Amino acid sequence: MYHLFDYLDKIFDIPGGVMFKSLSFRAGASIVLALLIGIIFGRKIISYLHRKQVGEDVRNLGLEGQMQKKGTPTMGGIIIIASILIPTLLLCDLTNIYVQLMIIATIWLGFIGFLDDYIKVFRKNKDGLKGRFKIVGQVGLGIIVGTVMCFNQDIVVKDRVAVSHISVDTLSVQSPVQSEARSKTYVDVEDKSTRTTIPFIKNNEFDYSWLVPTSNKYHDTLTWIIYILAATFIITAVSNGANLSDGLDGLTTGVASSIVIVLGILAYLSGNIIYADYLNIMYIPNSGELVVFTGAFAGAMFGFLWYNCYPAQIFMGDTGSLAIGGMIAVLALLIRKELLLPILCGVFLIENLSVIIQVGYFKYTRKRFGEGKRLLLMSPLHHHYQKRGFPESKIVVRFWIVQLLLAAVTLITLKIR
């Protein structure tokens, strides 16, 4: 629709054609369209999965209300992915490299998650897709994102550099301070770099190339490898964090919604030269188009939450959770805000750490004392609170509140800088 109306407006000058060039209009339309797709077609997909008996095989872990969820349709991530891709393909500028990368990331991770769910549901293998294949898929996406970010000529950062032009004639009639102030101009300089924003610190972005000595003849290659490793780690960590959080009705969906909204705001600010200059953040040309994608992403989350809230009528499965976490990570990488993820994705981080600490402490105590001990009643963290007797809906809402607080802190960091 974006390209169609752009063409028609140039040929026929049709009324309202310019509207489809408006970022705010297309972002709003993508939210509405994704939400409607999720609600309207979600019902049909749930009915279809019921007929095919594509239900969750729940293991009895002694959690209250857990066995009542047995048989609830899973693989609902199909609804999320469709709700994201359809508005994106209809409303985005498809020549934009950032949009292209997000489409690739959505399909790529959605396919990995789908394979995992397919093996669990149809092949009756509770282990699903083997971990090494998931890692291979995440590394593959890291290579794609890292390579494009490092070498694609459409991905640049623009800096506003002050240039002084002081002439002898000017100095003869004005004071030195006045002449320098009035003769200083600003020039936008494009920079092909792997820089990223450091939270809380002003005028000091981190560049991955700093990790390689400039005298090294393989400087560019080593920078590319380091960036790929960083991208892969971030994609894997956030993707698995979202996957681990998907254990209570509406938990991952609600948490991801506020994360995506914040990333959409950051994409808009980074892609607008006026706001980027005012907030002293990197101006990333053409990254504003990601606002349309994040609009579809947020709309898809709310549309799925319509059926996923307590008591859930459908679960997203790995088809949704792996894709959601991975898309959030890639979005942050594209707008160079990945160092904000420990704050913004704090809930996912804590869920990840709770599992790592629980397993690590159990192995350590078993090796040291001959008997494994646990710090939590159960991991991930949300199951610990279930074991303590908290109602599921209360845990979910409180996690949402914590996530909203983290989202607010993330936005505040822009002004603190």
pLDDT tens over the chain, length 417 residues: 888 888 887 888 777 777 888 899 999 999 999 999 999 999 999 988 888 777 766 666 667 666 677 778 888 999 999 999 999 999 999 999 999 999 999 999 999 999 999 998 888 787 788 888 998 999 999 999 999 999 999 999 987 655 554 444 444 445 544 444 454 555 566 778 889 988 888 777 899 999 998 888 888 899 999 999 999 999 999 999 999 999 899 999 999 999 999 999 999 999 999 998 888 888 999 999 999 999 999 999 999 999 999 888 999 989 999 999 999 999 999 999 999 999 999 999 999 999 999 999 999 999 888 888 999 999 899 999 999 989 999 999 999 999 999 999 999 998 887
pTM above 0.85, yes or no: yes
Beta bridge partners of 186: 162
Rounded Cα distance, 67 and 254, in Å: 23
Structural domain contains residue 336: yes
Q: Are residues 52 and 108 in the same domain?
A: yes
Rounded Cα distance, 31 and 298, in Å: 7
Helix 23-51 and helix 77-91, axial crossing angle in degrees, nearest 10:
150
Cis amide linkage into residue 391, ω under 30° from 0: no
pLDDT value, residue 77: 93
The first and second tokens of residue 297, run together, are 């992403």
Q: Are residues 123 and 175 in the same domain?
A: no
Number of domains in the chain: 2
Task: Please choose, from the candidates 146, 310, 311, the residue with its C-alpha nearest in 3D space to the C-alpha of residue 229.
Answer: 146
What does each C-alpha distance from 367 to 67, 358, 375, 376 come to in angstroms? 34, 14, 16, 18
Structural domain contains residue 271: yes
Q: Are residues 298 and 310 in the same domain?
A: yes
Domain that holds residue 186: 157-191
Q: Could you write out the DSSP letters of every residue in 134-170? A: HHHHHHHHHHHHHHHHHH-TT--EEEEEEEE---HHH
Rounded Cα distance, 257 and 324, in Å: 10
pLDDT value, residue 167: 44
Classify each residue of 390-400 as buried b or exposed e, where b means 16 or more C-beta atoms within 10 Å of its C-beta. eebeebbeebb
Q: Are residues 184 and 295 in the same domain?
A: no
Q: Are residues 16 and 122 in the same domain?
A: yes
Structural domain contains residue 320: yes
Q: Are residues 221 and 164 in the same domain?
A: no
- Residue 59 backbone dihedrals phi, psi, to 5 degrees: -85, 140
Tell which of 341, 367, 389 closes a domain.
Answer: 341
